[in-house]
Amino acid sequence: MENRLDDKQALLSQLPQVSRVLKHADVAPFLSQFSHEFVVHSVQSEIDAYRAQLLNFAGDKLPSKNPLDSIAKQVAARIGRMQRPSLRKVINATGVILHTGLGRAPLSADAQANLSQVVAGSCNIEIDLNTGLRGERTTHVEELLCFLTGSEAACVVNNNAAAVLLVLNTLAFQKETIVSRGQLVEIGGAFRIPEVMEKSGTKMVEVGTTNKTHLRDYEQALTAATGLVCVVHTSNYRVQGFTKEVGLGELSHLAGEKGVPLMQDLGGGILVDLQQFGLPHEPVARESIAAGVDIVTFSGDKVLGGPQCGIIIGKKKCVELIRRNPLMRALRCDKLVYAVLEPTLKQFITKDGLTKTNSVLRMLLQLEKNLAERAQRILHALNALNGKNMTIAIENTTAEMGSGAMPLEEIPSKAVSISVKTMSIRVLAQKFREFTPAIVGYVRDERLFLDLRTVYADDDNTLISAVKQILKS
């Protein structure tokens, strides 16, 4: 033990000065490419990391006894990582269509094309090109949203959590908001309805029980202090069995009698009835408006298939109040969101076939036999690699929508599984993630699964190339 401590002290005393590392052959070339301050910062960070590694080391084998070379190598690796984009293309092979960690909704070709046009230079985000006067950015999508949902007015903010916060703050600040106990949901990223209500400045009043809430519960809770009745669609779970929730029509009638607005947070937000595609029914935004709900909020980057945003639709008098809230400017969307949202919404009014243009629905509705054909083609291309040290096979899997949408729906899918005897599954998965473009699958039973439902067919050849390069390395 004493010898090891002595070795640590000896290595600490040998830690090089920044100036020596800057002159090292692995580091010096960067001084002509980057600012001196940035390279110095990188060097100092790696020296500090090396020092911490020594001080915290408790194993038998000490780190390299050549700190200068080791630190220089790490500096070069650090700067090399900085030269590559941190945010870059990923092939989603997880089987989760709306994967939050991978950017949720894959964008359609027309949305991508419009985005590239808008970002190429200036755009008319707040200029009316007919009059030349100052315009309102919401007008780029408001008419579309009103037509598609039957609402009187609409506006857009940067995500649905912001939409819920903004509505609560506008319509029920320093007042009470009534909500069923069975709807106090938590979604990903610790978004909890009670906490959002608290931050909005409203006082939450719970009614009913976890599994049953009756109309009389709302009637008894409504007072002069009530500012809003809130309904939350429990999109990411289901309470089944002995349950009861009050219908939107009944609640709308009750709230209208009392002169209190009714709000619904749909979460996912669907503009078409999924039953026409053979899928389970999910609440459609138009149905909520037709039932008399005053304000409805939902996400743009879930089943809708657009960018991250929060869409607010409803009665004009309520939407106008929301627009005038000072928080609206803090939560508004930029040109990139509108550039993607507008063409996405237009997919729902064209005759081209929504399932052909909308990437989310296209992934969701792919025929299992087509996935099987793709899997067979990939397996055939990789057949030469199958042998004693590795196994590549086709697997029957189950995909899912993700992001809290359709939580109980299991979607049959096909995956290519890979296992290598000479490589840990953790290392194998990492190699795929570090490939260009990155490929993210999932690990199960010591095998890496690449689910084809969430992989574009155009990327199949990239998968084949990646497997060949990684397994031959």
Question: Which residues belong to CATH 3.40.640.10 in the chain?
Answer: 109-353
pLDDT at 66: 79
Average pLDDT over residues 142-156: 97
Mean pLDDT score, 123-147: 95
Calculate mean pLDDT across residues 145-166: 96
Give the CATH fold of the 109-353 domain: Aspartate Aminotransferase; domain 2 (3.40.640)
Q: Going by CATH, does the domain composed of 90-99+365-472 fall within 3.40.50.12280?
A: no
pLDDT at 259: 96
pTM to 2 decimal places: 0.89
Q: Looking at the chain, which residues constitute the CATH 3.90.1150.180 domain(s)?
A: 90-99+365-472
Confidence of residue 241 (pLDDT cuts 50, 70, 90): low
Residue range 112-128, pLDDT digits in tens:
999 999 999 999 999 99
Reduce the secondary structure of the chain to three states and give it as a string: CHHHHHHHHHHHHCCCCHHHHHHCCCCHHHHHCCCHHHHHHHHHHHHHHHHHHHHHCCCCCCCCCCHHHHHHHHHHHHHHHHHCCCCCCEEECCCECCCHHHCCCCCCHHHHHHHHHHHCCCCCCCECCCCCCECCCCHHHHHHHHHHHCCCEEEEECCHHHHHHHHHHHHHCCCEEEEEHHHCCEECCCEEHHHHHHHHCCEEEEECCCCECCHHHHHHHCCCCEEEEEEECCCCCCCCCCCECCCHHHHHHHHHHHCCCEEEEEECCECCCHHHHCCCCCCEHHHHHHCCCCEEEEECCCCCCCCCCEEEEECHHHHHHHHHCCHHHHHECCHHHHHHHHHHHHHHHCCCCHHHHCHHHHHHCCCHHHHHHHHHHHHHHCHHHCCCCEEEEEEEEEEECECCECCCCCEEEEEEEEEECCCCHHHHHHHHHCCCCEEECEEECCEEEEEHHHCCHHHHHHHHHHHHHHHHC
Q: What is the pLDDT of residues 90-112, one digit of tens each?
A: 999 999 999 999 999 999 999 99
User: What is the pLDDT, as a whole number, of residue 1?
Assistant: 47
Q: What is the pLDDT of residues 288-311, one digit of tens each?
A: 999 999 999 999 999 999 999 999
